[in-house]
């Protein structure tokens, strides 16, 4: 996985390339080359690219990894207070609890629109079962709630719908 140190190195190389393109652009205008306006666009693009790489070198790109968590896919996120993840039908209640904690932690962002103390991010977990050929039914297995105000002092409340696990297919040996 790329780290902030990698992005800082890429920023340096991109900055050097930006300066080279800027020098070429100035030279192109002095010598009235036909590609001078294309070089202006290229230099502008390199400025934007360098700025983006610099931002990635400052902000840490880290995900929470909790041992025992199952793989999940984010299937819905309104960008505010609700998200839905999809899990495998073979997931156990213990795995689901850990997976919901991991998803709630990873989906936390200060950019979500939670400004009051009672605003919570709700992450619901679902799976798809096929009771008969050609029929798919979503089954919600649980949910996790966490505060949108604070990352560090926020307890994650997890609720597992144990009655829904009876609907899941039994693993075949």
What average pLDDT values come out for the chain (173 residues) when binned by 10 residues?
Answer: 82 96 97 95 97 85 79 87 90 91 83 65 90 89 85 79 84 63
Domain extent listing, the chain: 4-58, 73-167
pTM given for the model: 0.64
Q: How many CB atoms lie within 10 A of CB 164?
A: 17
pLDDT tens digits, 67-83: 888 999 999 888 788 89
**What's the pLDDT score for residue 37?**
96
**What's the pLDDT score for residue 66?**
82
**What's the pLDDT score for residue 45?**
97
């Amino acid at each position: 996985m790329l780290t902030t140190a990698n992005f800082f190195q890429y920023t340096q190389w991109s900055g050097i390339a930006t300066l080279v393109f800027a020098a070429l652009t100035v030279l192109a205008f002095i010598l009235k080359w036909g590609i001078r306006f294309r070089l202006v666009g290229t230099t502008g693009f390199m400025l934007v690219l360098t700025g983006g790489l610099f931002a990635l070198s400052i902000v840490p790109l880290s995900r929470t990894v909790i041992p025992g968590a199952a793989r999940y896919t984010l299937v819905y996120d309104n960008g505010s207070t609700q998200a839905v993840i999809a899990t495998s039908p073979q997931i156990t209640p213990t795995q689901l609890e850990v997976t919901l904690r991991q998803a709630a932690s990873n989906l936390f962002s200060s950019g979500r629109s939670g400004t009051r103390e009672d605003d919570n991010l709700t992450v619901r977990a679902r799976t798809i079962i096929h009771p008969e050929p050609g029929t798919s039914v979503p089954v919600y297995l649980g949910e996790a709630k966490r505060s949108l105000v604070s990352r560090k002092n926020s307890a994650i409340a997890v609720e597992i719908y144990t009655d829904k696990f009876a609907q899941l297919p039994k693993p075949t040996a």
